[in-house]
Structure 1
Amino acid sequence: MMSFLPILFINCFFCLGKATDCGGNHVTETIIVGKYGQAAFRTIQAAIDSVKTNNDQWVKIHIKAGLYIESVVIPKHKPCIILKGEGSRRTIISHWDHHSINNNATFLSFAPNVIASGITFKNSYNVAIYKSNDLRRKIEPANAAKVYGDKCFFHKCSFIGYQDTLFDHSGRHYFKDCYIQGDTDFVYGYGRSYYRNCSIKVMGRNPNLPGFVTAQGRKSRDDRSGFVFEGGSIKGNSKVNLGRAWRPYSRVIFRNTYFSDIVTPQGWVAWTAANNPNTTTYAEVDCKGPGANTSKRVPWMKKLSSSDLNEFSFASFINSDGWVDNLSTIS
């Protein structure tokens, strides 16, 4: 009897692990959301609320074209959800709020195993201030999205804001062919994330006051978090730094990315690592464009070895267990 218990425990352990990964890549249910016409729900949140607690199979929520004025939350106990829009120019979720960087985002996702495709997430709070061109008016932190859960994939999505647009909070995340817009710290957080072929658009109020694309928050040498950008581009209307250290061990790598001339010559700012900027890991590898000249970059920018480059490859950095390969197909 005693020898049977460990076997039973091991079997249950693997069952639980499999359930967490949504039982494979097959979609078991599709829910339709639409502003008009035939649809199960009129709001995205109502559709998410209808998904069973501790969901363990992929459920697709198809969001028809339209403007959805709401704040959308995927709670921790509802994993395995796919949000499928009809294109980021046609399916738009917009919200107006700025109370704090810890709440009130347009999209908050706490669950693991979440996929979003073909959707715009927009926080419109700072839009009126930005358009007024009045530099005396204060810009507030206003998240378009905040992502907590592990193993989340965003495909052809847009994230639109000004300050703190995308709070890449924690967990492994994969952003592919996405559009990210902002000016100050507009990709930030403690996530371990890979951005492939993403278009970064800088929309600043003051062309003479550089913003910051990233503010990554790696806290220690043993912290595995960081942001890797492969391909894509940085363009816009005002000067921008590639990043500043939100925490002393901040880590951001750009590979094969096109930099327009808006990128500042220094490239990076130490911020919280000012006492010892060598604790940061900031690197640029095979980037191109008029802003990719590294001759005047900060002296503490890293030069990566071949083993470093392997560490920051897609397979090693976020997909060593193959979770991306096991995601449900988006169709």
Structure 2
Amino acid sequence: MKFFLALFIYCFFYLGKAIDCGGKNITYTITVDHHGNASFRTIQSAIDSISNQNNQWVKIHIKAGLYVEMVIIPQEKPCIILEGEGRKNTIISFWDHKGFTSTNSTSANSTFTSAAPNVIASDITFKNTYIKAMPQNYKLNDKNKQILPALAANIHGDKSVFFRCGFIGYQDTLYDDYGRHYFKDCYIQGEVDFIFGTGQSYYENCSIHALGRYKNIPGFVTAQARDSLDDPSGFVFEGGSITGNGQVNLGRAWRAYSRVIFHGTHFSSIITPQGWDAWNYVGHESNFTYAEVDCKGPGANTSKRVPWLTKLNNSQLEEFSLASFINKDGWLDNLPTTS
């Protein structure tokens, strides 16, 4: 019994140490340069060089350039920092999409997949170029030019942070899949459900751009998938803006308790008058939490919004602040500084 107790205590403290990744200290830095002027030419080879169950912060500095590769941070490699040299300079790009490879899974075809907890990325653009070559306003029934999910990023590790990053795609650009995520000063581009998933996520001062490929068919910024009252997930947008072409809805319900809040966001005129869509959950609207608080701009007029738009008082709004919604344990305050 003493042996098992000692083993439990050891595992508890070991895992606790791994969770904070050594606080604000970075143990060492790896440099990637696709021109060959560093230890690694590809980002994936640099990630692969890090030990499994790593429990101290390791920084991978990625030199400016276009990296055409699929990048995966597996679950067994936490405590990784990906640092680029500006989102317009360091770009990770690929063209995979659902049905293209041997797997037909939407999430398996992402340009960037981060499955580990404790991951930080800064000053990088993650891009899926699958839709890029398609002409504007092609016929929806043209099977040779079918729009399919094509993810730029799939994030399903807890305590994931993105500073000044870009996410560029068309359908299902950013799979905000699972865990607590913080996006600050990011650029997110797409048209159909291009921020979607079950993440418990906070978007601060992010620029969202809807492409508006079809004049008479509005897109959807979000498709949030909260599925019960006990599910802590939801998307909170603080500040930032939504711009673009054509028309776009703020969101539609991927699951029966979908939750999205916009606070102080600037809406251009592309926002549809109704703003929101129940999708496959007509009759469950009372379960949704869709709120717009102190938003500004020509698209912020809520007089013609859906009748089930949520009204939040100050106390309820506080539940969706950065501190309350994703940072109750203070994990964001203990991160290393990135340039």
Tell me if TM exceeds 0.5: yes
CA offset digits 1:88-121 (Å, max 9, x no partner):
0000000011123121100000000000000000
1:66 corresponds in structure 2 to 65
Determine the C-alpha separation between the residues in 1 that align with 2:97 and 2:37: 34
Unaligned runs of 5+ in 2: 99-104
2:138 corresponds in structure 1 to 134
1:319 CA displacement: 0.3
CA offset digits 1:196-250 (Å, max 9, x no partner):
0000000021122110000000011111100000000000011000000000100
> Which runs of at least 4 in structure 1 moved beyond 4 Å after TM superposition?
4-8
Q: Is the 1:273–1:280 contact (alpha carbons within 8 Å) kept by the matching residues of 2?
A: no
- 1:1-331 to structure 2, matched below 5 A, reads 6=5, 9-10=8-9, 12-99=11-98, 100-129=105-134, 131-136=135-140, 137-331=145-339
CA offset digits 1:24-81 (Å, max 9, x no partner):
1111010000011520100000000000111000000000000000000000000000
Q: Quick one: which amino acid aligns to residue 159 of structure 1? A: F
Determine the C-alpha separation between the residues in 2 that align with 1:279 and 1:82: 38
1:307 CA displacement: 2.0
CA offset digits 1:275-327 (Å, max 9, x no partner):
22111000000000000001111010100122211111100100000111111
Unaligned runs of 5+ in 1: none
Give the TM-score normalised by the residue count of structure 2.
Answer: 0.94
Equivalenced residues, count: 329
**Paired residue secondary structure (1:175):** strand
Q: Quick one: which amino acid aligns to residue 149 of structure 2? A: P
1:12 CA displacement: 4.4
Report sequence identity in percent.
Answer: 66
Q: 1:5 to 1:134 in 2, by over 3 A?
A: closer
Q: Is the 2:257–2:289 contact (alpha carbons within 8 Å) kept by the matching residues of 1?
A: yes
Q: Is the 1:249–1:273 contact (alpha carbons within 8 Å) kept by the matching residues of 2?
A: no
1:186 CA displacement: 0.1
Determine the C-alpha separation between the residues in 1 that align with 2:11 and 2:95: 45
Output the aligned Cα RMSD.
1.4
